[in-house]
């Protein structure tokens, strides 16, 4: 009885792997090939450095509305999520973002609310971009492949503007706020059709419905995870290292089946972990927390909770800036200034005088960042470590890491230069770092320390995955053809059989 159950279980193991594998083998091949492309060409996004480089220097003589007045016009009564001053073509504007979402744009010259800009204004904004040669309006769009996600919803519709440069750069300018929302280049647009779009199953028609897209990808990756588990299980069952097969081989298969078996054993664990970590990337069940700073943390760190920063300017900063952010840190009101070349400085928002924040002042402010929790550690990272490293995104160094004794064991990473909270991390995010980044992108400290090692290992494992997938395609195609030929023969024999 037991042997019969084992034989039946193995039979179903083979059936499940065979037929689900035939249905999904093209997906596996697509994921391995597109994943290699994604290592070198990311999905288009507007980085802070790109955004700042496209802004003109603020002429402080034109700023006649104070930050306090701008918040009053925006209807903000408490310390906001974000308050910044920058240029919209030749007009200085405040952008006020509340904690309930949504940004209000207010002219810093006359206090008027800006909720619509014309195509000509959008072209003038785009003309300040460092790559702008002959800006032209391509079209006005609501949503396309590169602006498909919901984070662009408050900015739609978008003016799509070509800059006329050799890279084929295109800008997306919000018709509501005048902000540059996104930029893409010809290279990014071409390579992403071979990279992120197939890898994430990201066609516009599906991705525009975020919840539907998430459910579809969760189910697809979950089904493919079954293929990976059953395939590796079968591979181990059919492997003979000690009591080999009659011809001395460790595998009973020949040709494409042998390639599929051996490559599956070599790369099977990585295929399984890649599928599992890819499934986890969609955060099933909301198991992992976000990295954003909550209102409670921001208020505690600021030491201030009312909508007042500057009631009147006495003097403008001596440092040229393309953007000024108004904040409170540890009960001190500050103006964080960014220039177009990546430089950052701090100034007094009233006098414009240059200021600095000491490490002790930042740590003192951080002590109050977590309501009901005590600070347990504070150290400065001068070099990357397992949780703060540069691979997929730029990371500021040195950085302060502040730990707390709350149940989630929260860390805050804070810039020692500007005092900004750069990221929040807790136990669930640190688990995600190992369950996704380490398993899916191979962001392992040993590999990260030696640049070629990471890429070489990913290429080798991807090659093994590609062999598994391509051999599976060939095997599946041959089986389907055999079934089709067998079906024709049966049909023919029935036709020839006399009544």
How confident is the model over 261-311, as pLDDT tens digits?
A: 888 888 888 889 999 999 999 888 888 887 788 899 999 999 988 878 887
Angle between helices 2-38 and 256-280 (to 10 degrees): 70
What percentage of the chain has pLDDT greater than the value 70? 96
Question: Is residue 251's pLDDT more than 80?
Answer: yes
Give the residue-averaged pLDDT of 159-173: 97
b or e along 95-133 (b: 16 or more beta carbons within 10 Å of the residue's beta carbon)?
A: bbbbeeeebbbbbbeeeeebeebeeebbbbbbbbbebbe
CA distances from 263 to 235, 271, 346, 458, 479 (A): 10, 11, 56, 15, 20
Inter-residue contact 319 to 91 (CB < 8 Å): no
Higher per-residue confidence, 495 vs 207:
207
Residues 6+ apart with CB under 8 A from 433: 386, 387, 443
Res 485: pLDDT: 65
Higher per-residue confidence, 194 vs 13:
194
CA distances from 225 to 26, 271, 279 (A): 14, 9, 8
CA angle 417, 418, 421 (to 5 degrees): 110
Give the residue-averaged pLDDT of 394-410: 93
Higher per-residue confidence, 101 vs 41:
41
User: Would you state the torsion angle of the CA atoms of residues 67, 70, 74, 79, taken in this order, to the nearest 10 degrees?
Assistant: 10
Res 482: pLDDT: 79
pLDDT band at 78 (very low <50, low <70, confident <90, very high): confident
Q: How far apart are CA 301 and CA 293, in angstroms?
A: 10
Which phi and psi (to 5°) does residue 323 adopt? Answer: -150, 140
pLDDT band at 495 (very low <50, low <70, confident <90, very high): low
Residues 6+ apart with CB under 8 A from 247: none
Query: H helices then E strands: how many in the chain?
Result: 15, 16
- Among the listed ranges 9-13, 419-423, 488-492, which one has the minimum average pLDDT value? 488-492
Give the residue-averaged pLDDT of 354-360: 91
Tokens 């647009």 sit at which residue? 189
Q: How far apart are CA 241 and CA 230, in angstroms?
A: 20
Q: How far apart are CA 13 and CA 476, in angstroms?
A: 16
Tokens 């149940």 sit at which residue? 407
Say how far residue 179 (Cα) sits from the centre of its chain: 21
SS3 112: coil
pLDDT band at 499 (very low <50, low <70, confident <90, very high): very low
How confident is the model over 29-38, as pLDDT tens digits?
A: 999 999 999 9
Res 385: pLDDT: 92
Give the residue-averaged pLDDT of 42-68: 94
How confident is the model over 119-141, as pLDDT tens digits?
A: 999 999 999 999 999 999 999 99
Which residues are registered as beta bridge partners of 326?
A: 335
Give the residue-averaged pLDDT of 70-95: 93
pLDDT band at 156 (very low <50, low <70, confident <90, very high): very high
Question: Is residue 484's pLDDT more than 70?
Answer: no
Q: Please give the structure tokens belonging to residue 140.
A: 């006005």
Residues 6+ apart with CB under 8 A from 411: 387, 401, 402, 403, 404, 424, 425, 426
Question: Is residue 447's pLDDT more than 60?
Answer: yes
CA distances from 366 to 85, 355, 389 (A): 25, 19, 22
Inter-residue contact 94 to 311 (CB < 8 Å): no
Which phi and psi (to 5°) does residue 248 adopt? Answer: 85, 0
How confident is the model over 308-346, as pLDDT tens digits?
A: 888 778 788 888 999 999 999 999 999 999 998 888 999
Question: Is residue 415's pLDDT more than 50?
Answer: yes
Q: How far apart are CA 183 and CA 159, in angstroms?
A: 12
| pTM for the model | 0.89
Q: How far apart are CA 308 and CA 292, in angstroms?
A: 23
Residue 159 burial (CB < 10 Å; 0-12/13-18/19+)? buried
Residues 6+ apart with CB under 8 A from 259: 467, 471
Question: Is residue 73's pLDDT more than 80?
Answer: yes
Res 285: pLDDT: 80
Query: Which range, 155-164, 217-226, 433-442, 461-470, has the best average confidence (pLDDT)?
Result: 155-164
- How many CA within 13 A on the CB side of residue 492? 6
Inter-residue contact 87 to 58 (CB < 8 Å): yes
Question: Is residue 236's pLDDT more than 90?
Answer: no
- Among the listed ranges 45-54, 179-188, 470-479, which one has the minimum average pLDDT value? 470-479
Res 450: pLDDT: 83
Q: What are the strands, taking DSSP E only, across 241-364?
A: 323-329, 332-338, 344-347, 354-355
- Among the listed ranges 100-104, 225-229, 490-494, which one has the minimum average pLDDT value? 490-494
């Amino acid at each position: 009885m037991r042997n019969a159950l084992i034989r039946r279980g193995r039979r179903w193991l083979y059936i499940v792997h065979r037929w689900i594998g035939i249905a999904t083998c093209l997906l596996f091949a697509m994921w391995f090939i597109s994943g290699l492309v994604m290592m070198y060409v990311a999905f288009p996004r507007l980085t802070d450095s790109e955004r700042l480089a496209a802004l003109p220097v603020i002429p402080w003589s034109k700023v006649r509305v104070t930050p306090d007045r701008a918040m009053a016009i925006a209807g903000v009564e408490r310390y906001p999520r974000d308050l910044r001053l920058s240029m919209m073509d030749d007009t200085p504007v405040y952008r006020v973002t509340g904690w309930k979402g949504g940004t209000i744009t207010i002219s810093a010259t006359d206090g008027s609310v800006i909720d619509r800009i014309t195509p000509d204004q959008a072209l003038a904004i785009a003309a300040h971009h460092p790559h702008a040669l002959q800006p032209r309006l391509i079209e006005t769009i609501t949503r396309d492949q590169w602006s498909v996600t919901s984070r662009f919803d408050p900015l739609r519709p978008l003016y799509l503007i070509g800059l006329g440069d050799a890279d084929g750069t295109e800008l997306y300018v919000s018709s509501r706020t005048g902000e540059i929302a996104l930029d893409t280049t010809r290279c990014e647009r071409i390579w992403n059709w071979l990279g992120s779009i197939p890898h994430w199953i990201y066609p516009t028609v599906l991705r525009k419905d975020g919840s539907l897209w998430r459910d579809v990808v969760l189910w697809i990756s979950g089904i493919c995870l079954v293929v990976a588990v059953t395939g590796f299980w079968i591979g181990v069952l059919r492997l003979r290292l000690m009591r080999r097969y009659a011809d001395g081989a460790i595998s009973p298969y020949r040709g494409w089946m042998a390639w599929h078996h051996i490559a599956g054993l070599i790369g099977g664990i990585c295929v399984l972990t890649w599928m599992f970590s890819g499934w986890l990337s969609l955060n099933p069940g909301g198991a992992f927390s976000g990295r954003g700073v909550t209102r409670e943390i921001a208020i505690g760190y600021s030491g201030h909770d009312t909508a007042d920063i500057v009631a009147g300017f006495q003097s403008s900063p001596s440092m040229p800036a393309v953007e000024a952010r108004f904040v409170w840190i540890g009960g001190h009101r500050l103006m964080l200034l960014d220039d177009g070349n990546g430089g950052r400085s701090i100034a007094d928002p009233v006098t414009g005088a240059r200021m600095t924040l000491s490490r002790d002042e930042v740590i003192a402010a951080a002590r109050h960042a977590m309501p009901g929790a005590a600070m347990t550690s504070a150290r400065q990272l001068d070099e990357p470590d397992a949780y703060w490293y540069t691979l997929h995104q730029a990371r500021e160094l040195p950085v302060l890491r502040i730990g707390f004794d709350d149940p989630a064991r929260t860390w805050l990473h804070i810039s020692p230069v500007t005092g900004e909270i750069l990221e929040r991390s807790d136990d669930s995010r640190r688990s995600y770092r190992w369950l996704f980044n380490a398993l899916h992108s191979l962001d392992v400290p040993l590999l990260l320390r030696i640049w070629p090692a990471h890429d070489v290992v990913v290429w080798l494992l991807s090659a093994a995955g590609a062999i598994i997938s391509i051999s599976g395609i060939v095997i599946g195609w041959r089986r389907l053809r055999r079934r089709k030929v067998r079906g024709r023969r049966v049909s023919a024999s029935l036709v020839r059989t006399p009544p």
